[in-house]
Structure 1
Amino acid sequence: MFSRLFNFFYAPLAALVFVAVVLPFCVIIIITPTLTLRRIIGRFCVRFCLLCIGVPMRVRGMENLPAGHCIAVANHASYMDGLILTAALPTRFTFVVQDGAASWPVVGPTLRRMGVTFVNRSNPREGALQTRALIRRVQDGDSLAIFAEGTFKEEPGLMAFKNGTFMIAVRAGVPVVPMAIRGSRRLWGSGNKLPRWSHIEVEASAAISPTGTDKAAETNLSNAVRAQVLAMCGEHDRLQSSSNDEDA
């Protein structure tokens, strides 16, 4: 009863505060001249927003990030995950996001100014060209942050990982850092139109390097990274659940 009453008042107030804080920061990011400074402002904005709505965030394992370029892969459970990972990761990471977000008012221009790379997963030919471009960027020294599930569902559980992320890692010869975001589904996921209070935890584990250059190496890397993310994220395996449902 107390929890429902608390969220009855908390949800609309937190949403109003969040929008009121984010919008001015979006404008500041859009007009800021350099990418590094824009990303620094973005990290501060997210942490400040979470502070304003009373959401604590704990970040662990950042020492596991390699000094050189790499790919960070995290689970995806809510609308907040990109923002949360922005606040957790160093500014050298470029986020890979579905291209639908590019057309959102205010948000789209802000993401572009933050250096986000948009990908089109609905067009195989365009997706292949974008993947090759990302391989070249990583080979040239960029680090990427990717939600390998591609999207999230209202129901909890880790979904299958898309292959593109691990093709990039294998072809570019860079390690992948498994990461977990916990608490974001409750904060603003599972179909919730308004936020609910939650604490947020972000954790990075030891990097996993490719063991070859062929398709088998991509599959092995994907399986190893997904297993580690699954072990850390606190949600069940949707692939295992689907398999059990089919067997039943």
Structure 2
Amino acid sequence: MSDGQDRAPALRTTRSLVYHAIMGVTHTLGFLWPFRTRVVGKEYLPREGGALIVSNHASWLDIPLVAKGATGRHVCFVARQTLANSRILAHIMESCGAVLIDPHSGDRGALKLVVEHLRAGDLVAMYAEGTRSRDGRLGTFKRGALMAARQAGVPVIPCALLGTHRAWGRTMKTPRPAPLEARFGPAIDPKAPDALDQVRSWIAGELVGTDQECLPQPTGGGDRDEQA
């Protein structure tokens, strides 16, 4: 066994401790205090073992809201590489086990790392749109978003995040109080031919009747990427 493999469990433990410490401080300081938060469907999150959480993305508040929904478990977030331009932010993200990915290229290294996290039994959260929505509505999901779940052989948990766009949308400089809600849905088999469509349809259904009600899925947005 290599030195890297010997250090892997300790590294995962350290990152998990840092993650829970930061989330604990965040909640203690009341990061979500101005917002009435509600979590629905937490029973769909596995108590142990890997799973890929796929949600809509409209705000910076999406990260702590997903983390709050998965309280008690370490969630590894997949984030755009450009978010780590700041050395301090990059260090914090790396210390928490975040996976940084270039959304404009086939980042096989990042994909491999996500698969490793899932196989190791971690929860990984991914925003299949690739970026925050400008109007809060659900956009096109990236082809290949579920590839890591297929390779790792873990379920996909759809998650609808409500209210985050109204509270702190992409064009807003400062947040404002608003009710927030995280809704988790039943597991979806990533190997199903229409798995990505199933995930998007479930999330879209939860957004019906809100200001985040989505536009129809553009043609060609289905999960027809190459099988790994």
Question: TM-score of the superposition, structure 2-length normalised?
Answer: 0.79
Q: Secondary structure at the match of 2:131?
A: coil
Q: 1:150 to 1:93 in 2, by over 3 A?
A: same
Distance across 2 between alignment mates of 1:107 and 1:83: 15
Q: Aligned residue for 2:206?
A: 232
Q: 1:123 is aligned with what amino acid?
A: S
Q: Secondary structure at the match of 2:194?
A: helix
Contact between 1:131 and 1:164, CA under 8 Å: does it hold in 2?
no
Q: Secondary structure at the match of 1:196?
A: coil
Distance across 1 between alignment mates of 2:20 and 2:84: 21
User: Within 5 A, what are the aligned runs for 1:54-203?
Assistant: 54-67=34-47, 68-90=49-71, 91-104=73-86, 106-124=88-106, 127-203=107-183
The structural deviation recorded for 1:115 is 1.1
Say what the alpha-carbon RMSD is for the aligned residues. 2.3
More helix by share: 1
* Structure 1 residue ranges without an equivalent (≥5): 1-32, 244-248
Q: Secondary structure at the match of 1:45?
A: helix
* Structure 2 residue ranges without an equivalent (≥5): 1-12, 220-228
Question: TM-score of the superposition, structure 1-length normalised?
Answer: 0.73
Contact between 1:44 and 1:87, CA under 8 Å: does it hold in 2?
no
Contact between 1:70 and 1:177, CA under 8 Å: does it hold in 2?
yes
Distance across 1 between alignment mates of 2:148 and 2:61: 25
Q: 1:173 to 1:51 in 2, by over 3 A?
A: closer
The structural deviation recorded for 1:88 is 2.3
The structural deviation recorded for 1:181 is 1.2
Q: Secondary structure at the match of 2:92?
A: helix
Q: Secondary structure at the match of 2:38?
A: strand
